[in-house]
Amino acid sequence: AQSVTQLDSQVPVFEEAPVELRCNYSSSVSVYLFWYVQYPNQGLQLLLKYLSGSTLVKGINGFEAEFNKSQTSFHLRKPSVHISDTAEYFCAVRDYSSASKIIFGSGTRLSIRP
Amino acid sequence: DGGITQSPKYLFRKEGQNVTLSCEQNLNHDAMYWYRQDPGQGLRLIYYSQIVNDFQKGDIAEGYSVSREKKESFPLTVTSAQKNPTAFYLCASLPGQGKGANVLTFGAGSRLTVL
| Predicted confidence (pLDDT) per residue in A30-78, tens digit | 889 999 999 887 789 999 999 888 899 999 999 999 999 999 999 999 9
Is B46 a residue whose pLDDT tops 70? yes
Write down the pLDDT at residue B1: 66
Cβ pair B50:A43 closer than 8 A: no
Considering chain A, what percentage of its residues have pLDDT values greater than 70?
Answer: 96
Cβ pair B104:A44 closer than 8 A: yes
Q: Does B92 touch chain A (CB under 8 A)?
A: yes
Strand B87-94 to strand B31-38: parallel, antiparallel, or no bridges (unpaired)?
Answer: antiparallel
Nearest residue in B to A1, CA atom: B59
How far away is chain A from the Cα of B27, in angstroms, using its nearest Cα?
Answer: 16
- Over residues B41-65, mean pLDDT: 94
Tell me the pLDDT tens digit for each residue of B54-91: 999 999 999 999 999 999 999 999 998 888 999 999 99
More confident residue, B100 or A82: A82
